[in-house]
Structure 1
Amino acid sequence: MHQPPLSHLSAADPDLAGLIEAEARRQHDKVRLIASENYVSPAVLEATGSVLTNKYSEGYPGKRYYEGQQVVDPIEELAKARARELFGAAHANVQPYSGSPANLAVHLAFLNPGDTFLSLELAHGGHLTHGSPVSITGKWLRPVHYGVGRETGRVDMDQVRDLARAERPKVIFCGGTAIPRTIDFPAFAEVAREVGAVLVADIAHIAGLVAGGAHPSPVGYADVITTTTHKTLRGPRGAMILTTEEHATAIDKAIFPGLQGGPHNHTTAAIAVALKEAAQEDFKTYARQIVANARALAAALTARGFDLVSGGTDNHLILIDLTNKDIAGKPAAKALDRAGIELNFNTVPFDPRKPWSPSGIRLGTAAITTRGLTEEHMAFVAASIDQAIAAADDEATLDKIAGEIRELLAGFPMPGWAATP
């Protein structure tokens, strides 16, 4: 049963309601280890599905292009104030539709076509909008990439410094989508200051850990901070940009009118709810538990012979090179999904395979932590992963593992939905 219930949808469109019910059951029955996914609270779900979706609000509070903003303006101001307070930032923009538009706004605010910026190579853990050749950021701008050490799997700050001195980028990005180690914001800030670059911290994956005190904050080091509002922050699918006062106007103009029209007010309200939840003491406990679970899972996987990039993790994310398991990332991920374990195939640093059939898998512990799993369950999760990969072509074994996982998860409620007899 859904909370809030889908009674009207079930009556109006039973086909779609049935599909949503099936998705809820799937989310309930699987160990969800996709590092960018989580479960939101019923309060966030209610805000996301509210009548705020009816209102168009192009512009910013007090400066809209449509009338009837008497309620929407205070909602957006509330979300912005909560973002500033939670992260300790001078300015917040809560209108980006997702992480990619947030990063595109940074490019628009500080770069012109052909300008140089520095970022982490996609195959080493960066993001498409950090200058991948298939992204507009790689086609219209001039990205220069740093990477991780072949032996360490960690960002090579000497390389970052050398490239920055040689290329004189206007913008330096730190952060990405597959970084299992702590980001050294002070070191990046020192390099950016030396070459006169704007430092941008993309904390989409670790924002909840930063908010909960389980990862160092980029505030005070980065000029601009971009983040999604889901993932570890456990909010709706949206994004925010935090800045110093110096760069507030440039970022706001880049979002609107530069890239977007009216914000999604229902998402803004849900972001406000999630930020209030993240300011509570139990959120700090949750953030610390995410890291504890990831470290316990990493240790259990290492004990079973898995090759972890960088040798482990400092946050929620684990990146595994499956080369020594004689299976590629894609067939492994497909087998694991059939076994009730949801994650994604992923490139690893210096991967000899192609991106659509890479050597690795990526997993994270945010969603299972929200469900209530702790360190004591990580050995079981690691064993299930190991058994499923070893039995990738054995459907009977995969079905057996999936049943064991359903049995485990039956004891851990899912926010927003409960199984009915």
Structure 2
Amino acid sequence: MHEPAISHLSAADPELAGLVEAEATRQYEKVRLIASENYVSTAVLEATGTVLTNKYSEGYAGKRYYEGQQVIDQVETLAIERAKALFGVDHANVQPYSGSPANLAVYMALANPGDTVMGMALPDGGHLTHGWGVSATGKWFNPVRYGVAKETGTVDLDQVRDLAREHRPKLIFCGGTAIPRTIDFPAFAEIAREVDAVLVADIAHIAGLVAGGAHPSPVGHAQITSTTTHKTLRGPRGAMVFSDAEYAKALDKAVFPGLQGGPHNHTTAAIAVSLGEAATPEFRVYAHAVVANAKALAAALLERGFDLVSGGTDNHLILVDLTSKGIGGKPAAQALDRAGIELNYNTVPFDPRKPFDPSGIRLGTAAITTRGLDVDLMPKVAEWMDGAVTAAGAGDEAAIERIAAEIRELLAGYPMPGYTA
């Protein structure tokens, strides 16, 4: 059952409570490999469900538009100070509701509509808010997009430099949503300096790895850093923006009143909890274990004939091109879900298929590492994945059901934060 217990919810709204319990059970019984998901601690869950949700707090600590902020100011200040200490930044804003608004705040603070901005193309691993056409950032600004080299599957820094020299963007974004390799922040910084651009590092996926010392930090290279607070950081669904001191005032004004009203104080509290957890030695062990599991799983998948974009991984994320397996990413992801393995279908660089029916799947090891699965189990996970993909191609639902049963049996031995068996 859900932990902490939801007895009051069960009494007031048994239908909704039943759905919550069903989701808790689903998460408990699945090998959760969605790269942007994790399990938060019970303490984070408790923080998100407190009376802090009752309070409206437009503005910032000491400068609010509503009275009764004596406690809320302390909560937000605690989150800010923990973020600054953990990431070693001059300034932190913990109010953005999610990653996309956090990135929008960067645009609002530092650019004007029509300005040229540069980011990684979405099919190559970038994010919608880095200037992709369907996003407001691709409609309101003049986007220039870089990608990966076809031979290596890694960021083509020569192309980045050439495009930056040609177009002289105001902002350069590095980072993205499907990048399995280490981001070369010093190289991006050198290019940004050459063309007098502001470098923005979007570390939404790798923030926990940065905090835990398992990935290099952008601090000292990028003037602005944006991140979500879930994913590898293992916090609630929220976001933060960090900056050098000179950009602090502009960013704060962009977040409020530029883009949003009152912050979600219960989320701010949960962010503070997760930042406190991320500052512990145990979290550093966790961050390195995430990477070790990803590398072990990537190696096991390669042994089974899977094609990995860039040939492997340096972080938590693995991008798989299923073309050689004779199955599209979408039917493979759906079959894997039925088999108890949760991930997402995803485009791969130079994908000839459409985004809603792409050639690849994306997976990550943050959540299964939280559950306690280690490198010794990664070959077994790869075996299950291979079996499910093969079964999907053959229409063998019985095999898929057998894998799901094996997974449920294994995971019964690995506790899940937020659930009591």
TM-score (norm 1): 0.99
Deviations 1:40-78 (Å, cap 9, x if unpaired)? 001000000000000000010011010000000010000
| Root mean square deviation of aligned Cα | 0.5
**Partner of residue 351, structure 1:** 351
d(CA) in 1 for partners of 2:420, 2:323: 39
**Partner of residue 385, structure 2:** 385
Tell me the SS of whatever aligns to 1:144: strand
**Partner of residue 23, structure 2:** 23
Deviations 1:130-166 (Å, cap 9, x if unpaired)? 1111111111111100100001000011111111011
Give the aligned residue type for 2:187: A
**Partner of residue 399, structure 2:** 397
Give the aligned residue type for 1:34: I
Tell me the SS of whatever aligns to 1:2: coil
**Partner of residue 60, structure 2:** 60
d(CA) in 2 for partners of 1:327, 1:349: 17
Deviations 1:256-293 (Å, cap 9, x if unpaired)? 01000000000000000000000000000000000000
d(CA) in 2 for partners of 1:117, 1:15: 47
Note if 1:311 corresponds to 2:311. Answer: yes
d(CA) in 2 for partners of 1:233, 1:160: 28
Question: How far is the alpha carbon of 1:416 from its aligned partner?
Answer: 1.4
Give the aligned residue type for 1:405: I
**Partner of residue 101, structure 1:** 101
d(CA) in 2 for partners of 1:354, 1:209: 32
Tell me the SS of whatever aligns to 2:70: coil
TM-score (norm 2): 0.99
Question: How far is the alpha carbon of 1:222 from its aligned partner?
Answer: 0.4
Tell me the SS of whatever aligns to 1:161: helix
Residue 406 of structure 1, aligned match among 405, 408, 417: 408
d(CA) in 2 for partners of 1:57, 1:292: 42
**Partner of residue 185, structure 1:** 185
**Partner of residue 234, structure 2:** 234
Question: How far is the alpha carbon of 1:366 from its aligned partner?
Answer: 0.1
Question: How far is the alpha carbon of 1:28 from its aligned partner?
Answer: 0.1
d(CA) in 1 for partners of 2:73, 2:143: 38
Deviations 1:177-207 (Å, cap 9, x if unpaired)? 0000000000000011111100000000000
Q: Percent identity?
A: 75
d(CA) in 2 for partners of 1:4, 1:373: 23
**Partner of residue 171, structure 1:** 171
**Partner of residue 128, structure 2:** 128
d(CA) in 1 for partners of 2:326, 2:420: 39
d(CA) in 1 for partners of 2:151, 2:391: 30
d(CA) in 2 for partners of 1:249, 1:187: 27
Tell me the SS of whatever aligns to 1:172: strand
d(CA) in 2 for partners of 1:178, 1:268: 27
**Partner of residue 6, structure 2:** 6
**Partner of residue 363, structure 1:** 363
Does the aligned pair in 1 maintain the 2:96–2:102 contact within 8 Å? yes
**Can you give the 5+ residue segments of structure 1 that lack an aligned partner in the other structure?**
none
**Partner of residue 292, structure 2:** 292
Tell me the SS of whatever aligns to 2:183: coil
**Partner of residue 248, structure 2:** 248
Give the aligned residue type for 1:196: D
Give the aligned residue type for 2:353: R
Deviations 1:226-257 (Å, cap 9, x if unpaired)? 00000000000000001000110111111001
Deviations 1:358-378 (Å, cap 9, x if unpaired)? 000000000000000000000
d(CA) in 2 for partners of 1:410, 1:379: 19
d(CA) in 2 for partners of 1:248, 1:12: 44
d(CA) in 1 for partners of 2:12, 2:262: 28
Deviations 1:109-130 (Å, cap 9, x if unpaired)? 1111111011100000000111
Tell me the SS of whatever aligns to 2:118: strand
**Partner of residue 259, structure 1:** 259
**Can you give the 5+ residue segments of structure 2 that lack an aligned partner in the other structure?**
none
Question: How far is the alpha carbon of 1:3 from its aligned partner?
Answer: 2.0
d(CA) in 2 for partners of 1:130, 1:363: 21
Question: How far is the alpha carbon of 1:4 from its aligned partner?
Answer: 1.4
Give the aligned residue type for 2:100: S
d(CA) in 2 for partners of 1:374, 1:8: 37
Tell me the SS of whatever aligns to 2:314: coil
Question: How far is the alpha carbon of 1:418 from its aligned partner?
Answer: 1.2
Does the aligned pair in 1 maintain the 2:2–2:20 contact within 8 Å? no
Tell me the SS of whatever aligns to 1:391: helix
d(CA) in 2 for partners of 1:418, 1:131: 43
d(CA) in 1 for partners of 2:2, 2:350: 44
Higher mean alpha-carbon deviation, 104-113 vs 276-285, is at 104-113
Give the aligned residue type for 1:22: A
Tell me the SS of whatever aligns to 1:165: helix
**Partner of residue 341, structure 1:** 341
Tell me the SS of whatever aligns to 2:320: strand
Deviations 1:343-389 (Å, cap 9, x if unpaired)? 00000000000101000000000000000000000000000000000
Deviations 1:16-54 (Å, cap 9, x if unpaired)? 111100000000000000000000001000000000000
d(CA) in 1 for partners of 2:385, 2:120: 29
Question: How far is the alpha carbon of 1:2 from its aligned partner?
Answer: 2.3
Runs of 4+ in 1 over 2 A off after TM superposition: none
d(CA) in 2 for partners of 1:57, 1:309: 45
**Partner of residue 212, structure 1:** 212
d(CA) in 1 for partners of 2:96, 2:276: 19
Tell me the SS of whatever aligns to 1:145: strand
